[in-house]
Each structure stands twice: as structure tokens, then as C-alpha cells.
Amino acid sequence: MAKEGADMTEETQFMIDTNPGKEPEHVESSGDAKEMRAVVLAGFGGLNKLRVTKKAMPEPQDGEVKIRVKACGLNFLDLMVRQGSIDNPPKLPIVPGFECSGIVESVGENTAGFEIGDRVMAFVNYNAWAEVVCTPADFVYKMPEEMSFAEAAAFSLNFVAAYMMLFEVANLREGMSVLVHSAGGGVGQAVAQLCSTVPNVTVFGIASCSKHAAIRESVTHLFDRNVDYMQEVQKISPEGVDIVLDCLCGENTAKGLTLLRPLGTYILYGASNMVTGETKSFFSFAKSWWQVEKVNPIKLYEENKVIAGFSLLNLLFKHGKCNLVKSVMDKLLCLFDQKKIKPVVDSLWALEEVKEAMQRIHDRGNVGKLILDVEKSPTPLMASDSTETSEAGEEEEEPEGDNDSKERMPFIH
């Protein structure tokens, strides 16, 4: 797998030099209160397209909530946005990021339900990776008191997506079986936890070997993503599985459909296989579109199978389903209160460390969610010797080589 370490040294240096560990208080009390720090994507491509810069602070419009951001979620989709490997890529420059948590700083006209000081988590149609963000109140949810900002930023997208796929699209019930790819990722861990709230559900998880020790307890059966998982699953469950959750696409689509038992549901919720290198030169969205094997409805009829696609962001921002998502969030917060689910945070990163964070998710090094902690300063080790990161990135041949980096990253397991 290609590494994204190239050109990182200079950029990292630049980012840190121009943003010498500012505390949020400094920003708030600085001379120009209308500016904020934000990650900006200047062009589609590699890591060097990302910079932390000052931007004009947004003000809430009608129906919007202005949030002082504490933590942001980083998802695989953000890599695809960076590469432009998505349908209808946005006009650049933009501030990436689709979810955050923080404190309500003000509300726009005709905005009901929120007050200044409320601790909230929110979906944003881009713009999340900044010190301040404005988003319609329809996409904002109050946080439970027991939830940290990092947990909240790890909660919304992963748990809502996992819940809706399992219970809205596929109708998970007692005794069923679920196969989930990227079982160690944010959605994968949410799926595993939600499955455990239903009696007698078997979870087949697929993940890189390096994650197995950390996630073994969360699933029933665990397979290496590099082995022939089909054969392994069929050995254990010759009839197949009830639900397949696939964020990879490509050859896994046909495999997933084959593994389904009658009346089973395959759900495609991402296409991370499109990203094989730093840039989209090899796999653009259009190319992937044509390379995915298409499905004949008559085959589904013969085999009694179901195939579904699920994109939470499209559901929210294109398809106007915010009320449905709100009702799902209410159910999830109940489960959180009952301590039946709890977001898994992999690691916290300063805005200035967004490239290293992206490299980690690209290398499938994470267990759970990567969080951009807006108040965090880049770790001293990286600031003092940023070339080490770059070299590590270039030298690492195996995904298992994460032990080195653990020493310089503040992990939360």
C-alpha cells in the first residue's frame, strides 16, 4: 500500500511554525476576534494540499447554531474528499470535516432548542475542522453530561450510521449474524457494540492483524483482511450470514452478496478501496463507478437477496432526513445512558497534525475513531523532530509497524 509520507516534512514544519501551540483562549482574546484557525484544503491531491490557516469566523444564519469547536471526527471519507474521489466534489478551497462537538456560542434568528453554553455534537456539511462552526439546528444534538467532547466527536457519524444500517435498513433481530469489514474502525466498533444489544447475534469481523489483539473481545469471530475470509466464514456458517456491512466496495461486493444467506442484506456504505495511494491518479470516482460489478435484479430474485447502499451524509444533506436521524440519535443516547454503548477513541491530534492523522487512517492503523482536538498543541516530539514522522511514514512497510508511533501519540483506548 502506498504511503502518504512524501512531502510531509516541509508541510508539517510549516504548519507548526506558523501555529506555535496557540491556546484557544489566545484566539478568543486576540486582537482580531473575527478570525479563527481552520484546516483548509486548497486543492485535490496528497497530504500537502492541507494547511492550517486563519480564516474569517462564520456567523450563524437563520436557524443556525454557532459552535465553539472542541473536537472533530476524522473519517475515511475525509481522505476521499481530499483526493476528490467522491461524486460531486466541492469547490475549493474548503474546510473539510463533517462532524464536531463543542459549546454553543450563539444562535441565529429563528433557532429554537439551544442556548449559549450548551454542550453539543453536530453534523456539518464540510467546515467542521475549525475553531468555530455554524450549522443548522436540525443537525445539532445535546450531549449527555457523562460524555467527553472527544467521545461526542466519535459518536455521531459512526453510531448513527451503524444503527441505521443494522436497524433501519437491515432489520437486525435476535439470532442473526453480521459480517463487518474494517471491524476495528469507528463504524466497525459501533456495529459490534450495537450487535451486542440484541440477543444471540454473531459478529464476523474483518480487520488487519495488527488490530486483532485490541478488538478480539468485541466480535465473535475475527479474520485477517489479507486472508480468504469467504472460506473462513463459510466454514463456520455454511448457510451464510444475514447482514454484510461493506465500506470497501470493489471485489468485496460480489463476495458479500455470495456470503448472504437467503433474505440477507448486503449494505455498501463506503468505497475506501478507491483510495490506494496518496492521490486519486489511479482510482478516480468515475473509474471506480465502472469497475464495480453491477447487480442483476433477476439474480436477487432467484437468490432471495437484498442489496442496499447507505450514505449518512447524503441522507442528511441531500435527502432531508434530519428528523429520522434525530429520532435515531435519541435512541442512541438512551443506549449510551444505559452504558450499553460507548464510542471508542483511537487517538487525539492537533489540527496541525491532521496529516499524520490522515496517514494513520490511510494505513488502517487506528482502532476506533481519530479525533482532531482543537485545543491540543502538536506533540513536542513531533515539533522538535518532525522529520521522524516523515521517515517513519516512508519506512513502514507493514501495517503492524504501529508500535513505534504509539510512543509519540497520546492514545486513548
The site for its own copies (CB under 8 A) is made up of 87, 164, 168-169, 171, 249, 253, 261-263, 265, 268-271, 288-289, 292, 294-311, 314-315, 319, 321, 324
* Closest distance of CB 113 from its own copies, Å: 23
DSSP 355-388: HHHHHHHHTT--SSEEEEETTPPPPHHHHH-HHH
**Contact 317/125 with Cβ under 8 angstroms?**
yes
* Closest distance of CB 241 from its own copies, Å: 14
8 or 307: CB nearest its own copies: 307
* Closest distance of CB 303 from its own copies, Å: 7
282 or 289: CB nearest its own copies: 289
- Exposure string of 327-361, with b = 16+ CB inside 10 Å and e = fewer, is ebbeebbebbeeeebbbbbbbbbbbbbbbbbbbbb
121 or 315: CB nearest its own copies: 315
273 or 279: CB nearest its own copies: 273
One-letter amino acid of 171: N
DSSP 48-68: GGEEEEEEEPP---TTEEEEE
* Closest distance of CB 298 from its own copies, Å: 5
CA dihedral 261, 273, 99, 166 (to 10 degrees): 0
* Closest distance of CB 175 from its own copies, Å: 11
301-to-262, 265, 292, 297 alpha-carbon distances in Å = 10, 13, 20, 6
* Closest distance of CB 200 from its own copies, Å: 16
Cell 489479507 -> residue: 226
253 or 347: CB nearest its own copies: 253
The residue among 299, 277, 355 whose CA lies nearest residue 7 is: 355
* Closest distance of CB 237 from its own copies, Å: 14
132 or 245: CB nearest its own copies: 245
What is the greatest pairwise CA distance in the chain?
69
Residue 384 to residue 13: CA distance in whole angstroms: 9
Angle at 151 between CA 87 and CA 168, to 5 degrees: 55
Q: CA 326 from chain center: how many Å?
A: 19
265-to-34, 181, 307, 344 alpha-carbon distances in Å = 49, 14, 6, 26
* Closest distance of CB 264 from its own copies, Å: 10
46 or 185: CB nearest its own copies: 185
20 or 262: CB nearest its own copies: 262
Question: CA end-to-end span of the chain, whole Å?
Answer: 26
